[in-house]
Amino acid sequence: VLNLAINITGQKIKEQKLKQLYERKKALTKKSSGPDIKVSEKAREKQIEKITALFEEHMQDFKYTDVSYLIKIYKGDLEKIKNIVKLYLKSIPEQLIELSELADSSTWNYLRSKSSALRSKMGYIGLRLLNDTAKKIETNCEKKINLEEIQDLIDKMADSWKIAEKELKIILLLKR
């Protein structure tokens, strides 16, 4: 009888713990309405303002980089912005080399495609001038016009990238 009572009591305790865990999980995942949403929106806006001010303080002299789009889409999350910047610091130099090799081999359709992909990246991280240059390469390849200028455009983009790269590396040094 004692064993039966212990088993029943143990079962009830397990059920109670499971119920508590379920209620806790339910409370955490519950979509709130009313004041809680306003508080989180205000907190998010405040975080965006803080990060924007931090970026503006350090980037007022930047020649190529404008990270306002990244701040907006990542809601001021500095770590996410840094992660994107790290990825692009690694991949863009490789893509510039690839563009140059494609221009040397006169593979215009493939060069157009690669230039388009690079243009998207440049726009995403706020490198407007480099974005425009990549667009020009893309258009020239697509229309098969001014093909003799393409290598010069790639070289111009690579030179501009050297400055933009230094600007982007400063972002990695920022702290909240």
Contact 98, 112 (CB under 8 A): no
Instruction: Give the CA-trace dihedral at 109, 112, 113, 115, to 10 degrees.
Output: 150
- The SS3 of residue 65 is strand
Give the pLDDT confidence score for residue 60 in this predicted structure.
Answer: 78
pLDDT at 8: 52
- Tell me what pLDDT residue 157 has: 96
SS3 string, 10-59, reads HHHHHHHHHHHHHHHHHHHHCCCCCHHHHHHHHHHHHHHHHHHHHHHHHH
Task: Give me the pLDDT at residue 16, please.
Answer: 61
pTM assigned to the model:
0.71
Reading the chain (176 residues) residue by residue, the pLDDT tens digits are 455 554 555 555 555 655 655 565 555 444 545 444 555 788 878 877 887 787 777 777 888 999 889 988 998 889 999 999 999 999 999 999 999 999 999 999 999 999 999 999 999 999 999 999 999 999 999 999 999 999 999 999 999 999 999 999 999 998 87
Q: What is the pLDDT of residue 24?
A: 54
